[in-house]
Amino acid sequence: MSDDVIRLAHNLIGPADHRRLESYGAHVIQNGAATRFAWGEQDGAPHFDIFSGGADEVLAARIGRHRDQHEFYVEDRAGQEIATGTLGHVMAELDRFLRVRPGDSGTPV
């Protein structure tokens, strides 16, 4: 096994992270911080959108991955960056932003 780090620039959000993000979406819905989530794509880059508001729903946050920096990011509805880093860090910061209490049932692993 090699100690070299392999970076797959075109594989922005892999299957394991895809599942973690959908689990996280269920977590914020269960805790009342969102009403639904959806996958989208912009300029060939996938992103995970979280919506709130029910009938008058609005985009609450968007999680994506920077191709060049090899890190995840989360933005608010206005496109202002909330946090960057590992997926776990980004989800924890988004919990704080959405005011989801840590330790609530449904908190993703």
Helix (H) or strand (E) holding 47: strand 45-52
Q: How confident is the model at residue 108 (pLDDT cuts 50, 70, 90)?
A: very low
pLDDT in tens, 73-87: 999 999 999 999 999
Distance CA 84, CA 57 (A): 25
CB-based burial, 27-53: b 16+ in 10 Å, e otherwise:
bbbebebbbebeeeeeeeebbbbbbbe
Domain boundaries, the chain: 24-98
Helices (H) and strands (E) in the chain, counts: 2, 5
| Position 99 pLDDT exceeds 50 | yes
Cβ–Cβ < 8 Å for 71, 86: yes
| Position 92 pLDDT exceeds 50 | yes
Distance CA 27, CA 23 (A): 6
Q: At what angle do helices 87-98 and 15-30 cross, to 10 degrees?
A: 20
Q: Output Rg (C-alpha) for the chain, integer angstroms.
A: 14
Residue with tokens 């977590």: 27
